[in-house]
Amino acid sequence: MQGASPPHETGRAETVYRDIHLAIVEHRLSPGTRLPEAHLAHVFGVSRTLVRQALQHLAHDHLVVLEPNRGARIAEPSIDEVRQLYEVRRLIECNMLAEGASRITRARLAALRRKVASEAQANARGDTLASMQLAGAFHLDLAEALGNRILVDILGELIARGNVAIALYEQRGRDICRCDEHRQIVRLLVAGETAAAVSALRRHLLEIGESLTAARPPRGPVNLREVLGRAPVKPARKDRRAS
């Protein structure tokens, strides 16, 4: 029976989609980066047809933007968009927890606690990537505990978009999703203090959202000559991307 090396035999177009998706949420591809079809086709060893499919899927997820005749770029959500994003996450996650906390099984709570522990480890050894991944998974697990797949899908998309926002607006030196806060939420849930857990979650999401949207425009209209700090002459540098 179709036992293959990859997790579950997946179409090649979806492989391209997943790889790029992962690269974006892991910040290996920065917002604004252009994604020429021919280049990707060469990298993945497929035709442009499959690349286009993947890009359109990513565009629907709002992880890339697709401009007519201009191609694809990694999305650069505006401050306002990020604010709305976390507004929706607060709306969904907090009320979902408030209405469904009683349905979370003991086993699931234990799993959540383990996840927080992994997160703390990753955080301790400075692995911000793993930390961020686990933080996202924490929020998703919360939704999965309610057993509503539609909700999980929606939240998954919102979290992925949030990761792009983090890549754009994160200020260095600050942990985006402090595992302390996650641990506190789980602790309150275990103690049966639902209302307090909801408050903690709301405060948690508010902090993240504000720490992102309070930032000045970090890229884009940079100060230009301040960043370059040199003469305005153009040195004829031809440093295109290397193959």
Partner DNA sequence: TAGGGCAGGATTGCATACAATTTCGGCAGT
Partner DNA sequence: ACTGCCGAAATTGTATGCAATCCTGCCCTA
Residues that bind DNA (CB under 7 A): 11-13, 34-39, 46-50, 52, 66, 68-72
Question: b/e per residue, 143-176, with b = 16+ CB within 10 A?
Answer: bbbbeeeebbeebbebbbbbbbbbbbbbeeeeeb
Q: Name the residue nearer to its own copies (CB basis): 68 or 173.
A: 68
Which residues lie closer than 8 Å to 220 by C-beta, 6 or more apart?
32, 76
- Of 36 and 217, the one with the shorter C-beta distance to DNA is 36
Is there binding between residue 121 and its own copies (CB under 8 A)? no
By rule CB under 8 A, what count of residues binds its own copies? 22
Cβ at position 11, least distance to DNA in Å: 5
Binding mask 134-173 for its own copies (x = CB under 8 A): --------------xxxx--x---x---------------
Classify residue 81 by burial, with Cβ atoms within 10 Å: 0-12, 13-18, 19+.
middle
142: Cβ contacts below 8 Å, ≥ 6 apart: 93, 96, 97, 112
* 20 token code pair: 């790029």
**Residues interacting with its own copies, by CB under 8 A?**
11, 53, 56-57, 60, 68, 81, 84-85, 87-88, 91-92, 95-96, 99, 148-151, 154, 158
